[in-house]
Structure formats: C-alpha cells, structure tokens
Chain A
C-alpha cells in the first residue's frame, strides 16, 4: 500500500520540503568532508533525501487525498513501517551477533579486510540490536500505545515519518561508521559528533510529537505505559547530550574528542551506559509490557498503586547506579558505595513492576498456556525479574570483583536483552501485526509457537553457557594455590572459554532463526492484508482534555 496515500497534498509538500533539506544537508556534508566517513554519510543522506523526494513527488498527484474520515481513526502507517524496520534490524543485528560469537572461537574466519574484524563488528551488533531493533520497536509501539491510551490520533502526519526515518538514518550512519573505523569508542554512544547532533534533532521532534498527541488525549488520566515511554524519551535525551559532549577536530571531518577525560569520563560514560540499559532497554519496554500484556491477557493491571511505586522508584534509583560498572577501579570508593547501595534498593521497584505484570496474569493462566504471544510476554516479565535480580547481585562490590570484565557480564546482558527485551518486542509484534492487517491472527499461527520455543531454547543455552564461562574465567583469574601463587596464566582462561563460546554461538543461532521466522511470518501476514494501513480498532472521540 502506498504510504503516501495516507498523506494529504499539503503534507506531501511539507514532506518534499523536508526531504530536500535532508538532501541538501547530505550534499553539504559530502562536499565539506570530501573523503572519509563523513563524506560517505553525507552521500547516504543525499541519496535518502533524493529518494524521498522522488517517492513523494511521484505521488503528489497520483493518489487521491485521504478523506476527512481519517481524523476519526488512529494513524498506524508509521507503526507498520517501524515494525518492518524493527524486523530488518533484528535480522541484521543478530546475524552479526552470531557471526562475532563465532569469531570468538574461530578467529581465522575473519577475512583480512579491516571492516570485518571483531573490534569493528562488535559495535555493529550492539548498535544494530539496541538502537535498530530495540529503538524502532520502541518508537513504533509508542505511537500505537499512545494513540490508543490517549484516544487521540497522532498530532500530525509528517513528523512520525521524520522521527522514524531520521532515527534509522542515525543507526545506518552509526553502523556504517564503525565499519569504516569511525567511532568515539564510548560504549553504546560510539557514533561521531554529527550523528550525535542529528539524533538530538530527531529526538526533539519525537518528544514534540509525543507531548502534542498526549495533550490531545480524550482520557483525563495518562496511562502508566505513557509514563514509561515519556521517561524513556526524556531521560535518553539528557543522557545522550551529556555523555556525547565533544569537540570536533574539524567541522569537515568525522574525528572528535569527548570533552570528558579519565575518571570523570568513566563516570559520565557509565552514568550514561547504565541508564541506556535503564531508560532504553527497560523503561520503554516496561511501557510496552504495561500495554500489551493486559490487552492480550484481557485482565486489568493488578495494582495501580504498585505501578506508581515502581515507576518513580525506577526513575529515581536507576540514575545513581552507573558506578557499579567501575568497582575497584580508579574511581573514588565513595561513588562505588553509592552505586552499590542504590543498585540494591533498585531491586525493589524492579521486582515490583515484574511482580505487577505477573500478578496481572492471575485469572488468565489458561491463556498463557494456549497463546504463544502472551507466553512471550510472560517469559519477558520473568526474565526481567531474573536479570534485575542478577544485576543487583552483580552490583555488590565483592561479587563484581569476580564478575567484572568476564563473560558473566555478557551472560547477564543477554538474559536481559534476549530474555526480556527481545521477548517483549516479539510479543508486541505478534499483537500488533495481525491487527494492522485486519486479521484475527498471524498468517502462520504455528510458526509463532515454533518461534517461542526457539527463542526460549536459544536464550537458555546462551545465558547458561556464559554464566559458566564467566564464573570459570573469574575464578581462574583470581585462583591462588595454597602456596600463595596464582594458579593459572591468562591464556589458560582463554582456552577454557572455547567450549562455552561454541555453545553460545549455537544458542544465538537458534534465537536468530526464531527471529527470521518471525520476520517471514510478519511479511506473509502483511502481504495478505492488501491495502489496509490503519487498524480501526476503536472509534476516536475528539475532545482534548487539557
């Protein structure tokens, strides 16, 4: 279905204007830089801008304008596009994940071509999955959830596209940058200064769209899911700006130096890094959970009051704990103590939200048994509980002395990202996609069941093997014999990891095949839908509340 048909003529003209600006920006970047990553990125922006001009220009008079009736419906075409991007990035990001996992016991497989070496591909994986897969899913579902819980149509029709396309341009710049060796090396904030700036612009547009739509709501109260989405948008902006403050070496090149250095940089980086976990990989997804789980289970949220406690607890406590990434380092002890103690307190609101979700399923357990989609959400809530427990445990200083720098951290990461983040995304996708296509169910309902078991098996194999790996590694590093001498050389610990790395690759491959199945299933479902773009699931009452 032509997306352009959902836009009015004047919206198409605005779109063309914006696309021309993007093309011009790209042209300026390419011309100013002339070579290197910034020039390539300029060229990408130029091509994208021109492409959009053609699409919109071609459509200017082709498609009739949408009727005024559209204002009485939710605007779901951006959500649909966001989900397609989510699935594309899922396959890219996780394929690279499986590939780098394989490289960790089969390094000879690296082609002797700089772009393909481990150190450059690893951030392609992390950015691809966190921002590409996770970010698109968050934006796409936030539009869906916001409209329905506010009973208001998105405030305008152009900016959702600007946000989604702009965000994906950021991710493309990021991953292609790493391949060319362009990185600031700050974990989860690797992109260079101009990409960082671009994201600020996109994020600003996202916030404005969100808050304008929220202001139009027909429901006096703002639903919990929106508190979480809102905290995700706001705090990610704060974190992103502070952590990425940098001085470019020149305005026409991709090199810059962060203004922070040494200990202060370490603290800012992990204040950001931990809260990228918290406000990107947690609060946004809690928003998702808070909407899709009760809808699918057809149960009321178990406790409104508990929602309040967990929300503010999470927003407040999370921001203190970044220093648990720096235990025993040159960071002063006092900050480490604060990081540790707040991490312990953080467990309470975290478990409160996991518990609230699981208690919501009371009275719907038969649905959990029969419906793989709901089971995805249930498993997500369980893994959310598990990984936050594990996180608080790892944040205890002496425990961290064992786990830090080892594969235990990576095991923890993937119990959170595979078990929690990816599972809730899949649950949400399987809830939305049939609706978007005007169907009751996915095209291949059996495949959802298959996907579920592949995902669970993959996660368990991945996480269990890396727990073993990490604990073995940590113990080998610190093992002294009874004569007071270290027992193992470093390389022995590397050797000991190989079987676990192999098992992890297998687990990752299972998880990836599930994701591919999901992508194919969604494609089949959307294809069968023909030209439907909005799920007219509930009529809108157009009356602002504020």
Chain B
C-alpha cells in the first residue's frame, strides 16, 4: 500500500484521477437513490403549485434573505409538532426550486404560518415588527409597499414548467392576469384563477388596497400559502391520532 502511494505521489495526473474517483463515491451513493426510491417523495392528490402571485412573493422572500433567519421545515420532533404543527413532508417542497428549509432559526419556523395571522397583521408586522413584538429583532421592510415588478412572471412559470413543476399552458399564459386577480377579489379574473389553482387559495386585497399590486401583496400571499399547498401533513397526523 505504502509503496503504491509512494509511486502515486510522483504522477500528478494520477493524483488528480485518484482524488476525483475517491471524492465522487459519497455523493453518488447518497444523491442518486433519492431519485429512484419511490417513497422519498410521494406527491399527494391535493397538492398544488404556487400561484403566480405567491411565486413572485417567494422571489421577494429570497431577495430579502428571510431564509437567513426563518426555517421552513418542521422537524420530526415532538416539541416541533407541538409548537408549529405537523412535521413537514418531502412532498410539500417538491415544487420548490430551490427549497427554503433554512439552516438557522433566529425567528420562528414559517412552514405552517399560512392562515395563522391576518393579512393586515403581516403587512403591519413587515412594515415595522417592533410595533407588535417590542423585543423582536426582525428588520423592518417598509419599502415593500412599492409596485410589484411583473415583467418576468410569465417567464418564471414557463421556466419552472420546463423543470417539471405542473404548470400547464393555460397557467403560463394567464400568469400575469392571475397575479393581478389574486390581489383584487372583486375583479373579473377571480373565477379563472380559482379554476386553475383550486378553491382553497387566498384571494384578497392582501395589502388592503385592491387598486395597486405591490410587493407586499405578493409576499403576504406567499406567507399565507405556506403549509397550505396540500392538506396531507395534517391528514397524516390526524389519521395517526385515531
């Protein structure tokens, strides 16, 4: 063995090849089966992808770096179930490119925050968290009341569709209209939006003003969708309790 190595040390390309070979094993063994083993991700029937407005909100969540402080992953632990709700399933982030499970909880987990608070509260909290939680160390985001930049909304859906997220042609071509409709409950687009994404989606003037489509609308719509794309996790836990 030692002799072998003694010789290897003299051949630079040999060393290169050996390093690549030795370093490849772990990743291949751990990553490839995640695509072949069926039980890794089981998409429930009621699972829906994010609406265009929620997707735009997700981009803002990423842009502002919320993931630096908030996880979106309720772990398989009793205390997390008690505090946050049913543990997260692999399917719940199956359409997330990239996933936002996070690595630090400076603030609470957000995987199940959808529906927990009102839109007004989110708007006011994001505008200045310390108005509501005096000891909060979350930054204020007052600039989110500016208009939402929508020029990529359709392209975003189209790109994700190419990566396998189930957006059909209808959804892609109506993306902009759907984004506007979701924040304007009395507008004409509402029915089409519900047809495409289901009755369960939140369709409200999230920032309180149906006339303007703001970044706040998008971000709050996204937050209200967290944990709401499928009911599978709650159903699993309930089933188990019986």
Q: A: which residues have CB within 8 A of B?
A: 103-105, 107-108, 110, 112, 114, 117-120, 122-123, 178, 181-187, 211, 214-215, 220-222, 227, 230-231, 234-235, 238, 242, 247-250, 253, 255-269, 271, 305, 308, 312, 315-323, 325-332, 335, 338-339, 342, 401, 404-406, 409-410, 477-478, 480, 486, 490-491, 494-495, 498, 545-546
Contact = CB atoms under 8 A, between A and B. Distances in A.
Contact of B77 (A253, A478, A490): A478
A255 B89 CA distance: 28
Contacts of A247: 159, 162-163
Given A214-B12, A230-B15, A315-B22, A329 B101 contact: yes
Interface residues of B, number: 87
A249 B55 CA distance: 13
B142 A478 contact: no
B105 A263 contact: no
Contacts of B40: 263, 332
Contacts of A335: 30, 34
Interface in B136-163: 136-143, 152, 155-156, 159-160, 162-163
B101 A266 contact: yes
B37 A234 contact: no
B73 A107 contact: no
Contacts of A178: 65
A264 B99 CA distance: 9
Interface of B: 2, 5-6, 9-13, 15-16, 19-20, 22-27, 29-31, 34-35, 37, 39-41, 59, 62-69, 71, 73, 75-77, 79, 82-83, 87-108, 129-130, 133, 135-143, 152, 155-156, 159-160, 162-165
- Judged by DSSP, the binding face of A is helix
B19 A107 contact: no
A257 B159 contact: yes
A119 B140 contact: no
A119 B9 contact: no
B100 A185 contact: yes
Given A107-B137, A259-B163, A332-B37, A477 B83 contact: yes
Contacts of A491: 133, 135-136
B4 to A, nearest CB: 10
A261 B22 contact: no
24 contacts: A104-B137, A107-B129, A107-B139, A110-B139, A114-B64, A117-B64, A118-B139, A119-B64, A181-B64, A183-B62, A211-B13, A230-B15, A235-B23, A250-B155, A256-B159, A257-B160, A257-B163, A262-B95, A263-B94, A264-B34, A266-B99, A409-B103, A478-B79, A491-B133
Given A183-B65, A250-B155, A261-B97, 11 more contacts: A107-B136, A182-B63, A221-B6, A222-B15, A247-B162, A257-B160, A261-B93, A262-B95, A328-B75, A330-B89, A404-B75
Contact of A332 (B34, B87, B98, B129): B34
Given A222-B9, A249-B159, A265 B136 contact: no
Contacts of B13: 211
A480 B39 CA distance: 33
B82 A486 contact: yes
Contacts of A112: 140, 142-143
B16 A238 contact: no
Among A105, A185, A214, A253: residue with most chain B CB under 10 A: A185
Given A118-B139, A257-B163, A404-B75, A238 B24 contact: yes
Given A329-B75, A338-B30, A118 B68 contact: yes
